[in-house]
Amino acid sequence: MGKIKVGVAGYGTIGQRLADGVYLQEDMELVGVADFAPTLAVRALKEKGMPYDLYLVDGADKSAFDKYDIPVSGAFHDLVDKVDIMLDSAPAGVGAKNKEIYLEKGKKAIFQGGEKNSVADVFFHGYANYEQGVNKDYLKLTSCNTTGLIRSVDCLDRAYGIEKVAITIVRRVADPGDYHRGLTNALQVDKAPTHQAVDLMTIMPHIHATGILVHTPVTHGHFITVLATGKQKITKEMALEVFRKHPRIRVVTLDEGFLGNASLFKYARDLGNVRGDMYEIGLWEDSIVESGNDIMYGIHIPQESVTIPETIDAIRAACGMQLTSKEGTAVTNQYLNIGRFQ
């Protein structure tokens, strides 16, 4: 099998990272990305020398791109024609419209969390239900919080069995560089239960989950507390053992200097990671506490980048590149350089 050809629809916060992530997969070829306007992301692509090609979505004004001398390689349908599979990170709701084009041209696609579940055949997570996505045409990824949350719950569940989960999400309200949304000196409460708990139950139907979400005025990552009720008593040591083995979980401590979400962002910057991104979730050893059969812990979700590995897993599943979670995630991890710190 030759390289799988991949296109990206929507070159925003997620789309940029998907493109960069696919670019690193030696068994995939990034054909190009599509967008609507010469946003700062597109202009940065130009300033970097166009490492990959740009296509224009329908309705885009080519002269706006010409103004900045941004080379354009064709229209959205040209891109779709050339690929085996599309990663759709268009604004919420647009993916459902794009699907009509994918269907018409017989191309597979992976949608992001902003779309409705009905857009896809399978609501997908690289660890929790990879096998359900194998050779399917349309997958939808879990959202950033759900993706990271499930990593931690799934590994406890596989090792010890989990019955019930209650979460509190301390949600970062905006990404760095956002001005269109934001809170100033306010915590904002959402109607409970929060959708991430509901989504976890969709992916892992044998677990009962509920939770509350509160928005906070920060940009560098969500923080989730998880209270997981085991089928058996789970000690802190038992939990740590499986957390430490997970390549996409980075166990950290306060003593090392990881004092909160901003420490992980800073560390990723100092590592030289592109954009200061981190694919792993952070999990504080100091936060793990037992309570009867319950185990409680706190995790950090790097919202801009956490779904990238599982989305690449989804390509592997949908295209039948690897048939099991174990194999598929291992190849993704290798090319994304995940797990090197262990």
Are the C-beta atoms of residues 52 and 23 closer than 8 Å to each other? yes
Binding part of the chain for a copy of itself, among 98-106, 107-115, 190-198, 305-313 by CB under 8 A, reads 190-198
Nearer to a copy of itself, 83 or 299 (CB): 299
The residues with which 170 forms a beta bridge, in sequence order, are 214, 223
Decide whether 202 or 210 has the Cβ nearer to a copy of itself. Answer: 210
Binding mask 55-84 for a copy of itself (x = CB under 8 A): ------------------------------
Contact 80, 56 (CB under 8 A): no
Binding flag, residue 195, a copy of itself (CB under 8 A) = no
Residue 173 or 319 having the CB closest to a copy of itself: 173
- Whole-number Å distance between alpha carbons of 154 and 164: 12
- How many residues in the shown chain lie near a copy of itself by CB under 8 A? 81
Residue recorded with tokens 């590995």: 309
Question: Among residues 86 and 166, whose Cβ is nearest to a copy of itself?
Answer: 166
Containing 320, the helix (H) or strand (E) segment is none
Q: Does residue 210 bind a copy of itself (CB under 8 A)?
A: yes
For a copy of itself, the closer CB: 38 or 133:
38
- Residue among 144, 209, 268, 301 flagged as catalytic: 144
CA dist., res. 8 & res. 18, Å (int): 7
Contacting a copy of itself within 217-246 (CB under 8 A):
217-221, 223, 225, 227
Separation between Cα atoms, residue 108 and residue 248, nearest integer Å: 26
**What does the per-residue mask of binding to a copy of itself show for 297-326, with x meaning CB under 8 A?**
xx----------------------------
144 tagged catalytic: yes
In angstroms, what is the minimal distance from the CB of 256 to a copy of itself?
A: 7
Asked whether 102 and 37 are in contact (CB, 8 A), the reply is no
Which residue stretch of 23-31, 291-299, 315-323, 326-334 sits at the interface with a copy of itself (rule: CB under 8 A)? 291-299
Closest Cα partner for 297 from 168, 208, 126? 168
Minimum CB separation of residue 275 from a copy of itself in Å reads 4
Check residue 39 for interaction with a copy of itself (CB under 8 A): yes
CA angle 140, 161, 248 (to 5 degrees): 50
Q: What per-residue string of b and e applies to 23-40 under the rule 16 or more CB within 10 Å gives b?
A: ebbeebbbbbbbbbebee
User: Which of 103, 271 has the CB closer to a copy of itself?
Assistant: 271
Binding flag, residue 202, a copy of itself (CB under 8 A): no
If DSSP codes are grouped into helix, strand and coil, which group holds residue 23? Answer: helix
Residues 147-186 that bind a copy of itself (CB under 8 A): 164, 166, 168, 170, 172-174, 176-179, 181-186
Question: What is the side-by-side strand order in the sheet with 74-75?
Answer: 74-75, 53-56, 28-35, 4-9, 85-88, 108-111, 138-141, 122-124
Q: How far is the CB of 257 from a copy of itself (least distance, A)?
A: 5
Question: Binders of a copy of itself among 244-273, rule CB under 8 A?
Answer: 254, 256-263, 265-267, 269-272
Distances (CA, A) of 123 to 103, 116, 126, 136: 18, 10, 10, 11
- Active-site residues: which are they? 144
